[in-house]
Amino acid sequence: MGKAQTYYAVARGIRPGIYTAWFGTEGAEAQVRGFTGALYKKFATLSEAERWLVHPLSAAAASAKGAAPHEGGSSKPHFSGRDQRCDERETSFLPGSAALRGGTLAVPASEPLSGTIVVYTDGGCRGNPGPGGYGVIVIAGDTRIELAEGFRLTTNNRMEMMACIAALKALKPPADVILRSDSRYVINGINKGWARRWRANNWMRTRNEAAENSDLWAQLLDLCDSHRVRFDWVHGHAGQAENERCDALAGAAALGPDLKEDLAYLQGRTRMPQ
């Protein structure tokens, strides 16, 4: 009995489309290897692959099924009569949330999610303050996206917060999200209710002291109100794969060319009542 045909849908990669082979120069693997932020998935039927290409991330979040691609077959790509590149207006990612390209193979996630999107974040800077960056990994089923951005002058805590903000901004609300960060500052600020208390007090930490980074806390709380988010602390630099990857993304972003400006920090607008 012959092996059943397998289809590999590539929503975001070098050449998006549907492929009947994983290996080979014209297979699906060649379209996603080295393309950070690649979106792809394996299917048993062509119709399933075509349906998934319309809503790649939301479909993955709704059903965390699917095996890692590894089978051979004909390498001819299949297209269904239109450009199969990912239409970000139709996915769970909002326009403008394009992932950082370069240097990694997006691989199927190992943990079942059953509809929940898992986010890993990290941020930091060289010098504190100094050049900084953040890294984000968003996982929904076997779909994975990486985001990163660098800034010319900022702080560690601001990069940790911007990572969370970037991740949640990239998702269509409302989404069920588990956000995992190694920042006690972020985790305690949310889970212990500090940030909401500061907001209720017009961003005053005490009677005489304004809360630090109120510009970012305001954004983060608004996003938390738009989604259903659980914040979990993870131990940094302890060998957790996604945390280590986020750290690497953040470090690379901080060293990149054309760093952005953290305008609120530069203009001294981080401790002002909103």
71 and 140 housed in the same domain? no
Binned at pLDDT 50, 70 and 90, residue 115 comes out as: low
146 and 254 housed in the same domain? yes
β partners of residue 177: 117, 229
Residue 105 falls inside a structural domain? no
127 and 225 housed in the same domain? yes
142 and 60 housed in the same domain? no
Number of domains into which the chain is organized: 2
The type of residue at 274 is: Q
The set of catalytic residues is 122-123, 160, 182, 237, 247
Ramachandran bin of 62, using left for φ above 0, alpha for ψ from -120 to 50, beta for the remaining angles: alpha
61 and 133 housed in the same domain? no
Residue 48 falls inside a structural domain? yes
Per-residue pLDDT at 87: 27
59 and 159 housed in the same domain? no
Render pLDDT for 218-237 as a digit per residue (tens, 0 to 9). 999 999 999 999 999 999 88
Please check the confidence at residue 123 and state whether its pLDDT lies above 60: yes
Find where tokens 């379209």 sit: 31
Interior angle at CA 188, CA 251 and CA 237, nearest 5: 35
Q: How far apart are the C-alpha atoms of 224 and 247, rounded to whole Å?
A: 23
Highest mean pLDDT among 38-42, 73-77, 151-155: 151-155
204 burial type by CB count under 10 A (0-12 exposed, 13-18 middle, 19+ buried): middle
47 and 125 housed in the same domain? no
Q: How far apart are the C-alpha atoms of 173 and 98, rounded to whole Å?
A: 17
Find where tokens 């010098």 sit: 127
137 and 257 housed in the same domain? yes
Per-residue pLDDT at 55: 58
Q: Which helix (H) or strand (E) holds 199?
A: helix 194-200
Q: How far apart are the C-alpha atoms of 145 and 143, rounded to whole Å?
A: 7
Render pLDDT for 60-92 as a digit per residue (tens, 0 to 9). 444 433 333 333 333 333 332 222 222 222 223
137 and 238 housed in the same domain? yes
pTM of the entire structure? 0.63
